[in-house]
A and B are shown apart, each in its own frame.
Chain A
Amino acid sequence: MEEVSLLKGNEAIALAAIRCGADGYFGYPITPQSEIMETLMAQKPWETTGMTVLQAESEVASIYMVFGGASTGKKVMTSSSSPGVSLMQEGVSFLCGADLPCLIVNVMRGGPGLGTIQPSQSDYFQSTKGGGHGDYKLIVLAPASVQEMADFVDLGFTLSSKYRIPSMILSDGAIGQMMEKVVLPPFKPRQTAEEIIKQCPWAATGKPANRKNNIISSLELDPSKMEKKNVERQERYRIVEATEVRYDEYMCEDADYLIIAFGSAARISQNAVEILREEGIKVGMLRPITLWPFPSKVISKYAEKVKSMLTVELNAGQMIEDVKLAVNGKVPVLHYGRMGGIVPNPEEIVDALKKQM
């Protein structure tokens, strides 16, 4: 029988990282995600799996330690919360420019600025549209439970190394801090040096006599070559958009109205759907699991069936822009959001939906 644990979302991330064979974690403390590094340090994985855990001097150093580790083909990760992730954006752009796989966890808090330590989803734009400079994308996974926090660590690493695109788990303070039952993933051994050389022939692992020196770089001064590099990267993004979209549907089949929400907002919206259904109102919920690639096609399909859509977000209305692009004016799309660390209750969402009926 599977072993069930009662864990915080942040603890689940840490334990899942050790279990899925991560080589290194580099981070800097910030609320509400410090339990990730605390759990890792308490576990001392360097004595068991050989995983390195290091507290860096800043988020800037953390993301570049991730860059260094990823350059050598290792499975490396960092975690932070909104202000810290802002500080990492230069490094994120460099990681994308050098096509390096890695995992970044953002347990979002309210902003802008120092903002609040309470949950928020106001980093949607930063995560899905490219918070740093240049044309790039991250694979963005939005967990809505502690179980998904655990599951998305391995998924994030797998997708990232498959496409050589950094993955991000975009969570929030509510999912990071709440405790739920969770089944942790089974132990996977870390990759050996030989396996890394075989699977990452591009990595800086030390130049043997029979190959050229490997250079991890985002620089190309010849514009025609630089454009080619960018075009190749965009083609890879199109493949990800075609094959890696993930979402969850709840009571959508006969729905007249569709709520679209991710992460903790989706958990609350699910309750709102249940209340509305009891009142005989046919409402469903679509929960994007990948925020990029965004489930545009399925939303576009529902735009042919439902009367209107409501996005519920812990922000001023960010994902709604992607929903509107998918809907393309076919039905009204409205937004209900709370900011500043306020989490709505299901009744507020019920009222918001009734207003648009």
Chain B
Amino acid sequence: MSNPIINPKNLVYEKSSVLLDNTMHYCPGCSHGTVHRIVAEVIEEMNMQDKTIGCAPVGCAVFIYNYINVDFAECAHGRAPALATAIKRLNPDHLVFTYQGDGDLAAIGTGETIHACNRGENITIIFINNGIYGMTGGQMAPTTLVGMKSSTCPYGRDVQLNGYPLNITPLLAQLEGTCYVTRQSVHTANNVKKTKKAIRKAFENSMVGKGTSVVEVVSSCNSGWKMSPVKANTWMEENMLKAYPLGDLKDK
């Protein structure tokens, strides 16, 4: 008796051919796996696997190249937009994207991010904002909320001591070089669909030379936040999305 699930007639969803079979190392509840899957699906749907070069970050997602089956250059912390600039300019027919966390994009790599966006490089920046340094063990990030606890602000972020959370995405939207700046999330099925549409639009912009596209994905880091996956999603909705509301900031 054959398994009815593998009958193509009954197939409603399958793993993208651009995803590798390696078991992901991400914690249960982490947003990275979902965003990786979306990126792979969009590359497959656009038929761009052989023309895509990704720029891997420092942090948990450094191993993105073990999961998404395209060529990758691994970047030093914060430097992905500089690599992507040269990769795209020297290979203009390729789809070039960076995948960066909040510490990467909004702290150590703020300069590279702003200048790549301001030059209007024809690249896509995927920005995973979970308000914490996940890989190094939960330290304060530029986007850590006021009062939010981390291992380097154990009593909560104090603006006198640590300054304010850096809301960088609206800042990038002001730059002439960006064509599409949006903030999404992947904590519900509906939001996953919206994020996929956003990444598709961003990748298409990169291929027609409209300028830089930035897709922020407000994400949870339940291990870093020390919460269960379900609690982390609720906390994200109630706190992160208030400081970082979802929606398009720019679409030209």
Contacts and interface: CB of A to CB of B under 8 A. Distances in A.
Bin the interface of chain A by size.
35 or more
B120 to A, nearest CB: 13
A68 B50 contact: no
Contacts of B53: 71-72, 204-206
A26 B65 contact: no
Contacts of B83: 64-65, 67-68, 71
Interface in B111-158: 111-112, 115
A98 interface: yes
B73 A60 contact: no
B82 A61 contact: yes
Nearest to B63: A219
Contacts of B65: 213, 215, 217
B75 A64 contact: yes
A72 B74 contact: no
A66 interface: yes
Contact of A206 (B52, B56, B62): B52
Given A57-B115, A94-B76, A205 B71 contact: yes
B71 A90 contact: no
13 contacts: A56-B115, A60-B112, A61-B82, A64-B112, A68-B82, A71-B73, A72-B73, A76-B86, A94-B76, A204-B71, A207-B69, A215-B65, A219-B74
Given A68-B87, A72-B53, 19 more contacts: A54-B85, A60-B111, A61-B115, A64-B86, A67-B73, A68-B83, A90-B76, A204-B72, A206-B53, A206-B70, A206-B91, A207-B49, A213-B65, A214-B71, A214-B72, A215-B65, A215-B73, A217-B56, A217-B72
Interface of B: 20, 49-53, 55-56, 62, 65, 69-76, 79, 82-87, 89-91, 94, 111-112, 115
Interface of A: 23-24, 26, 52, 54, 56-58, 60-62, 64-69, 71-72, 74, 76, 90-91, 94, 98, 204-209, 213-219
